[in-house]
Structure 1
Amino acid sequence: MTAPERRPSTEETFDPASATIAIVTYNRSHLLTRLLTSLTSLDPKPGHVVVVDNASVDDTAEVVESFREKLGTRLVYRRLETNTGGSGGFSEGMRVAYELGSTWMWLMDDDVEVLPDGLAKMGRWAPRFRSIQGRRYDYDGSEFYWQYRVAERMGIPIPFAPAGFTESGYKEMNSGCFEGMFIHRDIVERIGLPDPRFFIYWDDQVYGWLASRHTTSVIVDEFVLRRTREIKQWDMGIRHMNASSNAYRYYIMRNRALIKQYYRVHDVYNPVLFGLGTTLTFGKELIRLLFVERTVRGTSNLVRGLRDGGRISRDRMWRPMPPLVSNP
């Protein structure tokens, strides 16, 4: 059952200084430079910028240090000893932001830049909602479509959920994306930190799904980010399918087991429908290999992910990430 939502006061306003931007980076200092440069033009500015470095071996540390005075806000740098993937990086970034006392956490990868009025746009919705996703432009300047709803019982995104907005300017979502998730401290306290066990893929969608069980989560018709990295795509007309990697193919299938465990805990697991979702996911990745990457090499990573996921799903000692407060 969804927990009662804490309704914000009509007199509550958004304080930019209460927000922290948390960035995860790994060996892409050239992209991180573009993102940090965009933050120097933000108006208003957040209270903190946290950069989590996943054990990069390039000049990331030097790049971050070069922006310490330029940003006009407090910069916190955390270098991890090992590469924990995006999942571990965002978990650490959220932890640092929370311990800094932030009311709002704005999460993003290093391959985007923030539009100058991005924080102001998100702040306009902050008094009303507690889990907010803004929109972003793709590398070529087109409007990027993000699959903001999941078919819960199957555990897969709904690829053709309506893209248009009504006059309300928002749509309810039951998913999440760490490339722009804007989430309130209250919700983080209830659902805990992002789960680092995902390593990559589906960590943000599950986290957004958990948030939607505690509050009305929305995607708003506000462009706040722009992607700065070009990705090979297959143009399907209505949507695009991006290229992937062997690591992604492995974790896409392995992490189905983590989703299954979360579904079990929250009493939404249906073995037949979830199995159908797994089959559809496997089929989609085969299509991605054939039509985007023009190869069949990589199929073994899908199979290996399924095999290793079986061990996770059979682990009866498995537990979800704990809430940050005992009585949220």
Structure 2
Amino acid sequence: MRNDVVAVILNWNCADDTIRCLRAVASGSTVPDIVVVDNGSEDDSIEKLERVEEPFSLVRLSSNLGYAGGMNAGIREAHARGAQWVWILNADAVPRTHALSALLEHSDRYAVSASLQTSSERPEDTDAEPYLAAAMLPKGRVEPFICPGCELRSHEVDVVTGAALFIGVAWAMQVGLFDERFFHYKEEFDLVRRIAEAGGRVGLVCSSEVWHQQGGSLAHSSPRAHYYHYRNEILYVRKHYPHPLARIVLGEPIHYKTLSKSVLQMAVGDQDQRTRSIAVLAAYWDGLRGVDGATERF
């Protein structure tokens, strides 16, 4: 048991996933304190969590504060307990047995790190594929960095993201935790960048593996997911670049492609495509205007 590490699992109407993640953490070769933050669930999550036999603490929030607000509650709890490290986990993540042990091997090197993250239909699949959880940022441009595991065991990178981040509590508190204006998506990218700008080193620990059911918390294909994804990309640019409009117009060709595709689908797409396109166009409009926080429009 490591009392200097707190694992924080965020639950929102997904107790079955949360319990699976909790049990994977509790059965690891290194076991931290475990905190589940319930983000204002409206289903039977609390009833299910109260029946769990594995030891953990439950923090109940009265409403859904988004990923950023929910994880901030968990980090504050870790700080109150005097923990040095917080391991923040999506409910739909399943850490492998030695995932935390491998992260701790590099805790003297990195202020924040991420595990090799894989995805497949089921966590027990042996053919799970790695996906993007780290990048380099030469001149601000995102260059993906993926290592499926190698003898080096870790790599220093510019930014990490994804379903499992290992963060020094003091670093998180120093830079001001997650920016809750993002609500959902891009908030971890923003936090890690701020830690790096404050002098913290960032690492991808490819000897640590966490399986993740991508899109489990908010389906990637839903209009709301599209809205948050694209709006928050614009909010991130507004926050981190001195000339955001020039950055959007000249620096990222993906925006032209996205907007062109959305306009085309508005004209010739089916009903689902048109709804998602409306969400994307609204996202760009709101992002440029600086609209943040939660939305109920989609």
Shorter-chain TM-score range: 0.7 to 0.9
Structure 1 segment 12-161 matched on structure 2, within 5 A: 16-46=2-32, 48-67=33-52, 69-71=53-55, 75-140=56-121, 141=125, 142-149=128-135, 151=137, 157-159=142-144, 161=145
Confirm or deny: 8 A CA contact 1:18 1:104 kept in the other structure.
Answer: yes
Match of residue 168, structure 1, among 140, 147, 152: 152
Output the CA distance in 2 between the equivalents of 1:83 and 1:133: 25
Output the CA distance in 1 between the equivalents of 2:21 and 2:73: 19
Give the letter for the 2:284 counterpart: L
Output the CA distance in 1 between the equivalents of 2:248 and 2:139: 6
Q: Render the CA deviation track for 1:103-124: whole Å, top value 9, x for unaligned.
A: 0010011001122222211111
Q: Secondary structure at the match of 1:44?
A: coil
Output the CA distance in 2 between the equivalents of 1:178 and 1:252: 14
Confirm or deny: 8 A CA contact 2:36 2:59 kept in the other structure.
Answer: yes
Q: Render the CA deviation track for 1:266-317: whole Å, top value 9, x for unaligned.
A: x5x5642343456514635877998xxx94541111111122222218x9xx
- Corresponding position of 1:207: 191
Which range is displaced more, 273-282 or 175-184? Answer: 273-282
Give the letter for the 2:278 counterpart: S
Q: Secondary structure at the match of 1:195?
A: coil
Give the letter for the 2:172 counterpart: V
Instruction: Tell me: CA distance 1:254–1:295, structure 2 relative to 1, closer, same or farther (3 Å).
Output: closer
Give the letter for the 2:279 counterpart: N
Give the letter for the 2:57 counterpart: V
Unaligned runs of 5+ in 1: 1-14, 232-241, 316-328
Confirm or deny: 8 A CA contact 2:78 2:169 kept in the other structure.
Answer: no
Output the CA distance in 2 between the equivalents of 1:163 and 1:229: 18
1:249 Cα deviation after fit: 1.2
Output the CA distance in 2 between the equivalents of 1:108 and 1:278: 30
1:248 has 2:220 as partner: no
Instruction: Tell me: CA distance 1:163–1:59, structure 2 relative to 1, closer, same or farther (3 Å).
Output: same
Unaligned runs of 5+ in 2: 266-271, 293-298
Confirm or deny: 8 A CA contact 2:259 2:281 kept in the other structure.
Answer: no
Matched residue pairs, number?
A: 279
1:195 has 2:179 as partner: yes
Give me the CA root mean square deviation. Answer: 3.1
Q: Secondary structure at the match of 1:196?
A: coil
Q: Render the CA deviation track for 1:81-133: whole Å, top value 9, x for unaligned.
A: 22122122112222221222110010011001122222211111112222111
1:283 has 2:257 as partner: yes
Output the CA distance in 1 between the equivalents of 2:244 and 2:139: 6
Which range is displaced more, 19-28 or 255-264? Answer: 255-264
Output the CA distance in 1 between the equivalents of 2:48 and 2:259: 36
Instruction: Tell me: CA distance 1:307–1:284, structure 2 relative to 1, closer, same or farther (3 Å).
Output: closer
Q: Render the CA deviation track for 1:202-236: whole Å, top value 9, x for unaligned.
A: 111111111222212010112331225687xxxxx
Output the CA distance in 2 between the equivalents of 1:185 and 1:61: 27
Output the CA distance in 2 between the equivalents of 1:162 and 1:180: 15
Output the CA distance in 2 between the equivalents of 1:287 and 1:150: 27
Instruction: Tell me: CA distance 1:163–1:303, structure 2 relative to 1, closer, same or farther (3 Å).
Output: same
Q: Secondary structure at the match of 2:94?
A: strand
Confirm or deny: 8 A CA contact 1:175 1:207 kept in the other structure.
Answer: no
Confirm or deny: 8 A CA contact 2:116 2:149 kept in the other structure.
Answer: no
Give the letter for the 2:12 counterpart: Y
Give 4+ residue runs of structure 1 displaced > 6 Å after superposition. 285-290
Q: Secondary structure at the match of 2:41?
A: coil
TM-score (norm 1): 0.74
Instruction: Tell me: CA distance 1:96–1:162, structure 2 relative to 1, closer, same or farther (3 Å).
Output: closer
Instruction: Tell me: CA distance 1:125–1:230, structure 2 relative to 1, closer, same or farther (3 Å).
Output: same
Confirm or deny: 8 A CA contact 1:253 1:282 kept in the other structure.
Answer: no
Confirm or deny: 8 A CA contact 1:35 1:111 kept in the other structure.
Answer: yes
